[in-house]
A and B are shown apart, each in its own frame.
Chain A
Amino acid sequence: MFLKVELPWNVMIPAESMDAKGLMLKRTILIQLLEAFASKRATKELGYYLTVTSLDKIGEGKIREHTGEVMFPVVFSGMTFKIFKGEILEGVVHKVLKHGVFMRCGPVENVYLSHMKMPDYKYLPGENPIFMNEKMSRIQVDTLVRFVVIGTKWMEVEKEFQALASLEGDYLGPISEE
């Protein structure tokens, strides 16, 4: 799910940039914020940090004595993406293996759908391997699939989420593109 969040942040402006005043300073603060935000990538609590939507408040700058940098406490609104256990989502298959498929959903690269969670689908090997059921419904690379999230995992070092999916449930499975 995409989320809009309001967050406090401390923006560090190097001493050299402090000659600018007024709007130029605000622009400098915004650019620093955008860079810091982009490098944050993701947290366990809020998910993937996608973009800043507005800079809502800029507090008074405080000089950091040792470095000469100025720290501005700001409040901004931003957008994140987090995957929740129990949530029903749609994704795109990007890899098909014997034991299951990997799907991409938003910024999450690896949502794993095990063959054990694809009721009635059988693996058909080949140059373009697919999973197919008796009704000839296919799951292969680039198939759009609606699934339920049965588990999520936050990886602190890589700053990534992984998720486990399932098609066990009504109205889940491959969907056609509108």
Chain B
Amino acid sequence: MSGEEEENAVELKIGDEFLKAKCLMNCEVSLIFEHKYEHLQQVSEDPMNQVSQVFEKSLQYVKRFSRYKNPDVVQQVREYPLSFFSFVRVYMPYDFDRILSRHQLTEFELCVLCNLCPKTAEEAVAMVPSLKTKGRAHSDEVIEKMLNDLSLVKRFE
């Protein structure tokens, strides 16, 4: 198997089958699951009946593998209005949507980066090889800037 084939396999499979799909980071899933439990308790007398074994396993997984713990930070980053900053030069670090568009990342790439939290540009490219392909050819400098953006979010936790 060639490296190129694999990175394309990941991107293509997302593109073709999931036009109306969005990727979620482990930390977002963790929040959604917590809210789910609360909601289910209101809707049903037996909430455990409404969740499956795969839900349980996934819940355990995201609890262990979430890199961003603060729910306020996680919620802010997804909902932060992009338009507010379209004419503002001041850089606001805690904005995943802005990071997405500023660095031309796909949802999939952003989620992998946020799940794995690479420390250097080299590690980031190893985790998401497509950063260096698909016509964007991000330089190491640009990638380091991106990682810096993401790590600043963490510092607000």
Contact = CB atoms under 8 A, between A and B. Distances in A.
Given A5-B18, A27-B43, A104-B61, A50 B7 contact: no
Interface string A155-166: 000000000000
Main secondary structure of the interface of B (DSSP, over half): helix
B50 A169 contact: no
11 contacts: A2-B29, A2-B58, A4-B24, A38-B51, A41-B54, A51-B51, A81-B54, A107-B58, A109-B57, A170-B122, A171-B118
A88 to B, nearest CB: 5
A84 B9 contact: yes
B116 A31 contact: no
Contacts of B24: 1-4, 79
A4 B9 contact: no
Interface string B16-41: 01101111111011001100100000
A162 B13 CA distance: 17
B58 A85 contact: no
Interface of A: 1-6, 27, 30-31, 34-35, 38-39, 41-42, 45-46, 48-51, 53, 79, 81, 84-90, 92, 104-107, 109, 144, 146, 148, 150, 169-172, 177-178
Contacts of B17: 45-46
Contacts of A3: 18, 21-24
Contacts of B20: 5-6
A163 to B, nearest CB: 13
A171 B127 contact: yes
Nearest to B40: A34
Closest 10 CB pairs of A and B: A86-B6, A107-B54, A86-B10, A2-B24, A170-B126, A38-B52, A4-B22, A48-B54, A107-B57, A86-B9
B58 A50 contact: yes
A42 B36 CA distance: 19
A171 B62 CA distance: 21
B38 to A, nearest CB: 13
Interface hub of A1, A85, A104, A172 (most chain B Cβ within 10 A): A1
A171 B126 contact: yes
Contacts of A45: 17
Nearest to B125: A170
